[in-house]
Chains A and B, each alone.
Chain A
Amino acid sequence: MLTSDMTFRDTSAALSLRGLSKAFGSTLAVDRLDLDVPRGSFFGFVGPNGAGKTTTLSMATGLLRPDAGTAHVMGHDVWSDTVRAKQLVGILPDGLRLFDRLTGFQLICYSGLLRGMDRSLVVERAHELLEALGLEEEGGTLVVDYSAGMTKKISLAGALIHAPRLLVLDEPFEAVDPISTSTIRQILAGYAESGGTVILSSHVMDLVQRVCDRVAIVAGGQIRAVGTLNEVRSGMTLEERFVELVGGRADVGEGLAWLRSSSD
């Protein structure tokens, strides 16, 4: 059963991971993980801190070499057909720096030019992206002087400039204010509607429940549940289901009584 799983690969999937594994020292961060993300889906990748979300997404996008397993983007192997696969993907990583001595506008153009795009096309799209993300005023400011939310938005613009078919976003809404969150959501929703595929990781269950149509819950480097949002929730809220699967304590009970103002 396991072997047939390993060999069968859904070539129509936007992203297809098979037996992906990575260990850091003696810690197994990702443990033989299989995942298929259908084209056109808005896919939420949720899990507690240290579940292996960032490691998985890094291996799926060519940033981190897996110890074992394969990753395919639209049928192209990320680790052998590298150039073609990378052309199809746009990435927003979490916890990595940016070339922050560039202005926001320059940083967007840099990701386009690195991919060998035509300069006039890059400039045109960069202006459109700045406008769509509400950053026209800040395009000339150095990225090092940006707030966290602006930094996320400018990274997203860099991930979008080459019109990728698959967007892989690691914590795109972290430290982003509600107005920017709504802007980013609208852009992503439009992108998914027109046939693009979005994978985003988050630990804000409420947000994932509102924007994603498919969800995978990951913990301990393995998928615990995967499917459409309703399949995974099975009648509960995503948060309740998540806590049930991952096994945390949702109710702190009667401890910390002294913290309650009413106890005075």
Chain B
Amino acid sequence: MVALIVGLKWQLLRNGLRRSTPQLVGLVIGGLYGLSVLAVSVSGLIGLRIAVPSDVARSVVVIGGSALTLGWVVFPVIAYGIDETLDPARFATFAVPRRQLVLGLLVSSLVSVPAAVTTILGLATVVTWSRSLLAILVAPVAAAIAVLTCIALSRVTSTAFSAASRHRRGREAVSVLVLLLAVGFGVVGSSIIKRLSTPGLLHHLADVLGWTPLGLAWSAPADIAEGAIGSGLLRLALAVIVLAAALLAWDSLLRNALENPRGTTSDRSATRGTGLGWFGRTPATPAGAVAARSITSWRRDPRYISAVAMMFLLPLGLLLAPLSGGSRLWSLAMAPTAGFLLGWSMHNDIAYDGTAFWAHVATGVSGRADRLGRLAPTAMAASVLLPGYACLGCALTGRWSLWPALFGIGLGFLLTGFGVASVMSALKPYPVPGPGENPFGAPPGSSALTVAVQAVAGTAVFVLNLPLIVIGFGALIGHVWMGWLCLGLALVLGSAALGLGTWWGARIYERRAPELLADLSRIR
């Protein structure tokens, strides 16, 4: 049975390679890149034996190993849906004894590229610790435990996650949570890394990690190599306990998945009021209806919630420079950045509808109503974010006279972005994750079109706003009147771009609505 499951995994891996030639080329390039990274890492681990004192080697191996283990834990959540080939729930209808299934799934997990890489890295640490006979004996054992722990922990998260994701609400909550964690980690991590330049802190971090479940197995041979045999063996024993605990946790999750393979799917308690919601608040016109529908989707669909979080957080990222002692002038860019992101982001809005767009085609809604209505949610967000970020920029630099220029450039970016997006989204939708899919996943084979459309839209918006940026720079170097000129010009230029863009976009839309629907059903 174990051999059969491993064979299945091997077959799936091989069939995965039998796709189109471009995908194969991509895979080969990716593989070569991975191999070169692996080669550098392995020679680095060997170099740690020859050229470096053992305490530095310990820090490097423990921090690197812990990061690798953490990656195994987190990866199934970020990349869910990528490798469900051996989803335990799919074995539910076959009467496989659970012991054999657990063993089979564990061993079959070793048949994968990441597992092979981890195993090779683990074996390379044996060279790193070949500083005494005992260390040479212990290191392979510790490496094996480390690799198995990686795999077992990753199976725990993927099984737990796939159980949670049987409920739509659970899946959506997790993906938004991961997004926030990723952004938070980016913000906190970058400031930590800056401070890590002092080597003392690096050693300290390694000491702490070495006693966590992530680093126990990686630090055990380091102790032995340094002669601290007692603590080394203690860590090894603890690492075995961690591995056993992970396997037990996985086993019990698996039992749950097998006995209840489909979960209880209906969220009948999900009743959310019987009213019209936003449909009662917007004007009772087709454009108003499209606006209400867009706003409702933005509030309830995690794909939009992730996008909103990015638009909100990316400008805040400009605060990192002032916070870590850089120039405060960066904070002035917040309002323009927000305006750009908010306006530009609408250029593929229609793709998020997917084939539900048929309702617009079937009802023959006018292009103008479709174009204008879609802008409503971002326009609402911008009405708060743009003045707010402009104020924040002024407050941090103490130069309130710049407010008209900052708000003006932001507004110019927003409105011209709307105009460009109204044309682009009627022309060429590119693939996005479907409703209920991983909001970070990019559908395969779409990247060239995606990059092209994004670049065209971005360049168009930027070029249209060059005059505003130049005048805004005049305000920055001290000409207050230029700030007001900037704001006035933004209103004129922006309104013109918006009017022209929606008019042109509406014409394209009305000519191409059925073709858009065909595009949307093809890319989904």
Which A residues fall within an 8 A CB radius of B? Answer: 61-65, 82-83, 86-87, 89, 91, 93, 95-103, 105-106, 109-111, 113-116, 118-119, 122-123, 139-142, 144-145, 147, 158
Contacts and interface: CB of A to CB of B under 8 A. Distances in A.
Contacts of B360: 114
A140 B359 contact: no
A205 B293 CA distance: 38
25 contacts: A62-B362, A62-B514, A63-B358, A63-B362, A87-B364, A95-B355, A96-B355, A96-B356, A97-B355, A99-B297, A99-B356, A100-B435, A105-B274, A105-B276, A110-B289, A113-B286, A114-B290, A115-B363, A115-B364, A123-B276, A140-B271, A140-B272, A140-B273, A144-B168, A145-B168
Contacts of B87: none
- 5 cross-chain pairs, A with B, having the tightest CB-CB distances, nearest first: A113-B289, A119-B284, A86-B364, A140-B274, A101-B300
A113 B288 contact: yes
A82 B286 CA distance: 17
A64 B286 contact: no
Interface of B: 168, 266-268, 270-274, 276-277, 279-280, 284-286, 288-290, 292-293, 296-297, 300-301, 353-356, 358-365, 369, 435-436, 514-515, 517-518, 521, 524
Nearest to A61: B362
B276 A64 contact: no
Contacts of B272: 103, 140-142
Contacts of B356: 96-100
Given A102-B297, A119-B279, 5 more contacts: A62-B514, A98-B359, A99-B297, A114-B363, A140-B272
B364 A62 contact: yes
Contact of A106 (B279, B285, B358, B524): B279
A96 B353 CA distance: 11
Contact of A113 (B266, B273, B284, B300): B284
Contact of A141 (B268, B280, B296, B354): B268
A90 B388 CA distance: 46
Nearest to A113: B289
B358 A96 contact: yes
Nearest to A59: B514
A144 B274 contact: no
A147 B268 CA distance: 11
Given A86-B363, A98-B356, A65 B268 contact: no
A180 to B, nearest CB: 16
Contacts of A97: 354-356, 435, 524
A82 B364 contact: yes
A164 to B, nearest CB: 10
Nearest to A140: B274
Contacts of B436: 144
A65 B266 CA distance: 38
B435 A103 contact: no
Nearest to A90: B362
Given A86-B364, A114-B286, A106 B435 contact: no
Nearest to B280: A119
B363 A111 contact: yes
A98 B270 CA distance: 18
Contacts of B284: 113, 118-119, 122
Contacts of A145: 168, 266-268, 270
B276 A96 contact: no
A115 B286 contact: yes
Contacts of A142: 270, 272, 300
B358 A93 contact: yes
Contact of B279 (A65, A91, A110): A110
* Residue among A82, A87, A99, A100 with max Cβ neighbours from chain B (10 Å): A99
B293 A102 contact: yes
Contacts of A147: 266
Contacts of A118: 284
Nearest to B304: A101
A100 B271 CA distance: 14
Contacts of A106: 276-277, 279, 296
A178 to B, nearest CB: 20
Scoring B168, B266, B358, B363 by chain A CB atoms within 10 A of each residue's CB, the highest score goes to: B363
